[in-house]
Structure 1
Amino acid sequence: MVLKVLESLVTNLFPTQYTVHIVVAIASIFALRAFSQGRATNRERDLHARTILVTGGFTPFGLTILQELAERGAHIIALSSDPIDSPRIALLIDVLRTTTSNEEIYAEQCDLLSPASIQSFCKRFLTGEQKRIDALLFTHEYSHIGAFKRFMTRSKAEDEAEREQLSLASFLLTTLLLPALLTAPAERDIRIINVVNRFYAAAAAGPSSSSFYDSKPSSSDSIFLAEGTRSLRTIILTRHLQRILDALPSAQVPKTDSTSSAIHVVNSDSQKSNIVAITVSPGISRSDTMSRLLNADWTSTAGYSKMGVLLYLLTLPFLHLLTKSSVAAVQTVLHVLFLPTPFKLLSQTPSKAKTDSGIDKSDAPEEVLKPGSLYAECAVVKLKVPPSPPLEEEGNEKGKGKETEEAMDLPDDGELGGELAGRRVWEAFEAALKAWEKANPTLEELEAEAKAAAEQETPNVEGISSA
């Protein structure tokens, strides 16, 4: 009886002559949904005893990353601008530990908008007992900055300042923690991963202009171009960092000999350092991209637009269909964490056949991580970046002097604009970092103020006690 009622209901609502159309429409919706979610990684990796430092870990995207890493046993250090004993941070850490059965999840206070706070964290970490880092995962640059004009609640200058400061935070953290990475055992697999937004394509023509390489790029009326410029500069900077790592003395390169039980998978020509720098573009997500474009994040301390929240809720069914969830967005990040690097070491048994060079390639993986590359949808993106325009005479002399002083001979591989483009972006970051540090209190100044305040309070306490 029930089946007959259902059959009658379906027949009345969906006439049989439209069955094919309905089936095609439903299949198209499912296909569009699957396409918009992108590829999922087909790799897996046990992360027990691996220490991963994560920035931006308390955004929707970042929390998904923390959960995925914790489920695989990683030792996680998540940086937070809020005090680690604040109710929100304490609750999130407790929930992650409980749901993943992993107690090795910790939060450390570090305000990425303050160079002194970054220096303070790095000083605490580098002087502590535990200095091991297996991966630096910078996810804080993925969250979109800037809303459509109709939904803005703060000025464009504030957005531009935050973009610049967050990019400089990645650069400062990398340079301060790099000594700890370089002194790690050469056999250790270390990765530096910068997560950027998908709008780099909007700024693809930017490197052909000298203004792209200024320490403070010119502002743009388009939020997509502004976000794309930030993303592309990080991509080029990461590629140049890999050039620098590969140019370091050969002491950083793991050695291979025919009697060793640990051998390289890929020829060492493809990678000179055990440290791999990678950029990842997860795509457009609902929570970290679209909600911010509409200024619909009602948890933001910078305020939100009620109209944006309403529009976001109304369009949510379409956003579910056309944009990524946080789980889908993190897949490429996991992919580059799980892929073996060219210096990934495998156990070898005497029965395995070797080549003339003593390298066994019988168990070589089908895919290895490509150092310095940009990854999206679990694959390398062949991004064509125009080369940098020639430097002026004065600029050439300065560049040559700096290169001689550092005694660093970097080959021009032509990738992502080439060595000159990478060097100019690197020098622009250095100049902007100096200006940022000069405009803000230094760590020494903050420590001196805290010491002076403590000394001033001591006599007052003694006076009260004697009274």
Structure 2
Amino acid sequence: MPLQFLASVYFDGLPPWFPDPMRLLRAMTTLTAVVLTKWYASGRVNLSERNMHGRVVLMTGGTSGIGAATALELARRGAQLVLLTRQPPSDPFLVEYVDDLRARSGNRMIYAEQVDLADLYSVRQFATRWIDNAPPRRLDMVVLCASTLVPPGGERVETAEGVELTWMVNFLANFHLLGILSPAIRAQPFDREVRIIVPTCSSYIASPKLDEEAVVTGGRDDLEDWVPGRAYARSKLAMMVFAKAYQKHLDAYKRPDELPMNARVVLVDPGLARTVSMRRWLTRGSLWGLLLYLVFYFFAWLFLKSPHMAAQSVLYAAMDGSLGRGAGGRLIKECMEVDCARKDVDDEEVAKKLWESSDRLIERVEKEQAVKRARAKKEQEKKEQEAKEAAQVQEIEALVGAIKKGKSKEASKKNTKKAEFTGNTQPELFNPSHCHPVFFTAKLRRPPFNVLSGAQLSPVAYGYVYQDAPGGSKKSAGPRL
């Protein structure tokens, strides 16, 4: 059949149903260009592998985007994941997500801890609990994938502590977390290779220079000139400068066993991906922007990486053996080491100002928040004391009321019994004060059949009361009628 078709084409030309060769060539060229563009835009694939069984990994941003893809791949390789999330572990979404991650990876060693990166007190609570252990808890890797941004045209947002949100989540919270965890990282045994992986973004290249005023005020520009893109780029540049300085901080530590430091900081640029943050940025956080995004989704699919492909560079930083040797603070992009595009990333003077200013900012904010918490706790205790006293007063009033009610019931019962005892339905016709104090018998405890009203009425006359016998009588010393 193929030979006959080829012979027919050779002798008789193309059949009428066959498409135009030029049109077919253009279609094939277009398809090839799309495939090559997609292949190039997707980036390189991680080929390095590492035994992750039993290794403890702290991870932020592990529930969405690049962080979720990284968490899945690390879990499939047997790592024990501790996901630091804004929601409490009892949150229904988080419970379902962790269960799904366990089922997909076949790894049950996946847990969640509540750490709100927009709250320095929450970060300190978790980090303090982690290091408050003897001997030190095992820690093999810290992956800081959490990040946030404000869409273009959005307004400046501050946290409850008064720090700009982008600066807080992207830099200051990570600075605070690693600063407190530093003793736990340095205390790991020499044969345990510890890696701190810090994903970044190429937007740091366009960031303005870091100055002390911007750091002290929480990364703010002049309020009138504040731009979301500039704030995001500044936070990424600050994180890169700090990561380089943190590596020097670890290297300067002298271990008690006098062995070299085994912790390495690795910077990673995963590239542009179709994540929630990217979609929020492209759509400007509006419904019209989302509609345009859906209309032109083909171009987003073509030029942007999937979260899985963007996670390949992060996985390379976590697994490649060469990164565990030599100097730390290297930058990885497309699964290979590259140079930083800015010289001030390695500037020690800039790093020193950034570190000191961030320390002062955290100290000031924590003091203010501690005073507020103490004041709120005092007010809460006062309210609880007032509520307790009010409850006691109500209890006493209820007890007094019950006693009064009991007494009234007892008096009512006594009156009822007295009425039954006298058998008198008209008390005004019979006054006990008129009676002589003598003994009654059952025979005489009967009601009168016909008692007339009036002052002349005498109970004795009607046979109701005994009278004593005269003193000189010898017949009887007892009562008689």
TM-score (norm 2): 0.70
**Which residue of structure 2 lines up, in the alignment, with residue 163 of structure 1?**
166
- Structure 1, residues 156-198: CA drift from partner, whole Å, max 9, x if none? 2449811121111101110111111112212210111112222
2:142 to 122, 136, 140: 136
Q: What is the SS of the residue equivalent to 1:92?
A: helix
Partners of 2:369 and 2:331 in 1: how far apart? 33
Q: Secondary structure at the match of 1:156?
A: coil
1:92 paired to 2:88 = no
- d(CA) in 2 for partners of 1:457, 1:295: 52
Contact 1:186 1:274 in 2 (8 A): yes
How many Å separate the matches in 1 of 2:214 and 2:314?
27
Q: Is the Cα contact below 8 Å between 1:84 and 1:107 reproduced in 2?
A: yes
- Retained in 2: the 8 A contact 1:240–1:419? yes
Q: For residues 296 and 18 of structure 2, what CA distance do their matches in structure 1 show?
A: 26
CA root-mean-square deviation = 3.4
Equivalent residues, number = 377
The CA distance in 2 between the partners of 1:465 and 1:104, in whole Å, is 51
Whole-Å separation in 2 of the counterparts to 1:32 and 1:323: 10
Distance 2:273 2:395 in 1: 59
8 A Cα contact 2:141 2:194, kept in partner = yes
User: Is the 8 Å Cα contact of residues 164 and 219 (structure 2) preserved in structure 1?
Assistant: no
Partner residue, 2:336: 379
TM-score normalised according to structure 1 size: 0.72
Alpha-carbon distance in 1 for matches of 2:379, 2:61: 28
**What's 1:321 paired with?**
302
Q: Distance in 2 between matches of 1:12 and 1:442?
A: 83
What does 1:35-114 align with in structure 2 at a 5 Å threshold?
A: 35-114=40-119
Tell me which structure has the larger Cα radius of gyration: 2
Change beyond 3 A, Cα 1:114–1:210: closer
Q: Which structure ranks higher in relative contact order (CA pairs < 8 Å, sequence separation ≥ 6)?
A: 1
Letter in 2 for 1:379: M
1:225 deviation in Å? 2.8
Deviation at 1:214, TM superposition (A): 5.6
Distance in 1 (alpha carbons) for counterparts of 2:373 and 2:212: 36
Aligned-pair CA distance for 1:11: 7.6
Counterpart secondary structure, 1:133: coil
1:305 equivalent in alignment to 2:297: no
1:447 to partner: Cα distance: 10
Q: Deviations over 1:265-318 (max 9, x none)?
A: xxxxxxx5211112212111112442121357xxxxxxx521122122112111
Q: Kindly indicate whether residue 174 of structure 2 is the aligned counterpart of residue 174 of structure 1.
A: no
Specify the code of the residue in structure 1 equivalent to 2:320: L
1:147 to 151, 154, 167: 151
1:183 to 173, 183, 187: 187
* SS across alignment from 2:164: helix
What is the match of residue 362 of structure 2? 433
Q: In the alignment, what sits opposite 1:206? A: 209
Contact between 2:238 and 2:354, CA under 8 Å: does it hold in 1?
yes
Gap change, CA 1:90 and 1:210, over 3 Å in 2: closer
Deviations 1:29-65 (A, max 9, x none): 1111111111111101121110000111122222212
Q: Amino acid of the residue matched to residue 178 of structure 2?
A: T
Counterpart of 1:421 (choices 350, 354, 357) is 350
> Equivalent residue for 1:286?
274
Q: Secondary structure at the match of 2:57?
A: strand
Equivalent-residue separation in structure 2 for 1:12 and 1:211 (angstroms) = 73
**Is the Cα–Cα contact under 8 Å of residues 164 and 220 in structure 2 kept in the other structure?**
no
Cα distance in 1 for partners of 2:185, 2:372 equals 22
CA drift of 1:452 comes to 4.2
Instruction: Show the counterpart of 1:407.
Output: none
Between the aligned partners of 1:446 and 1:134, the Cα distance in structure 2 is 40
Pick the aligned partner of 1:340 from 321, 341, 357: 321
